[in-house]
Amino acid sequence: KQEVTQIPAALSVPEGENLVLNCSFTDSAIYNLQWFRQDPGKGLTSLLLIQSSQREQTSGRLNASLDKSSGRSTLYIAASQPGDSATYLCAVATGNQFYFGTGTSLTVIP
């Protein structure tokens, strides 16, 4: 069964700093990996989707990479802003469902 782990569980950084969130998964037979953002009391907002054949995807200040063979993905956030404060979740998709990581709670201090 697929297990997804995210490290660190919580992260606090000063505004302007670049940061990396990590996601690891145990079964490399995935179709894609998706990064989400969840604000307190809100739903999930899709940030980036990486298909299994891709190595990385970029959207604005966000860059996600995927190394399927080693079961790892990273989300790089450049020049962090207080508005980036949220919980970040990665989800690994198999044929029938997707498995979520435990999330990283990010706080960007002004």
Residues that bind another protein (CB under 8 A): 31-32, 34, 36, 38, 41-44, 46, 49, 51, 87, 89, 91, 93, 95-100, 102-103
> Phi and psi at residue 109, in whole multiples of 5°?
-90, 125
CB of 16 vs another protein, minimal distance in Å: 27
10 or 20: CB nearest another protein: 10
73 or 87: CB nearest another protein: 87
CB of 37 vs another protein, minimal distance in Å: 11
15 or 42: CB nearest another protein: 42
Residue 92 three-state SS: strand
Q: Which residues contact 53 (CB under 8 A, 6 or more apart)?
A: none
- Per-position DSSP letters for 11-80, written without gaps between them: EEEETT--EEEEEEES----SEEEEEEE-TTS-EEEEEEEETT-SEEEETTEEEEEETTTTEEEEEE-S-
1 or 14: CB nearest another protein: 1
CB of 51 vs another protein, minimal distance in Å: 7
